[in-house]
Amino acid sequence: MLKFSDVVTCVASIVVIFALVFAPLDLVFVSALGLELGYGVSLIVSLFLSALISGYIFAGKIWEVRREAITKIAVLGAALMYLFNLIVPASIAHWGLWVDEQYQGQYGATLSTTEWKHWEMMYQDITGFMAVGMTLVLGVIGLYIGSMLRKPKKS
């Protein structure tokens, strides 16, 4: 039976593996594809690989109750990704400038301070939605494939 502590340990493993894989892949993909595309590709590949490796490591626990286990792990991972998404804009100095530039490049209008705040909050909501969606999809696929690579031995 998959305990909550197993789910937390698996999600923590995904985060640690993600951190170890993301930086090297950033260097590879950014140098090959440029900053914008390279960063996005390395993010997607890192999420998938970290879930795949964790699925392989925790295959024994996942096999006991596969759907439930993968769902719990993916949902907790997505919740953690959403929290990360809420924190990141505060730690990146150019986040607000970049978001404002996206609006001005698309619409060219000048907004009031309140409207800018709402635009930036909406942009963060959209970014969070994409991060959670991507984490759920890649997490489920990676965990499933990873657990399939290491089938439990028959007793």
Residue 119: phi and psi, rounded to 5, are: -60, -45
pLDDT, one tens digit per residue, over 19-42 is 999 999 999 999 999 998 999 999
pLDDT below 70 — which residues of the chain? 1, 152, 154-155
Alpha-carbon distance of 145 to 56, in angstroms, equals 8
Query: In the chain, where are the structural domains located?
Result: 4-149
Q: pLDDT above 90 covers what percent of the chain?
A: 66
In whole angstroms, what is the distance from residue 60 CA to residue 144 CA?
12
Q: What is the pLDDT of residue 155?
A: 56
pLDDT at 145: 95
Question: Which pLDDT score, from 0 to 100, does residue 101 have?
Answer: 86
Please give the single-letter amino acid code of residue 20. L
In this prediction, residue 73 carries a pLDDT of 95
> What pTM was computed for the model?
0.86
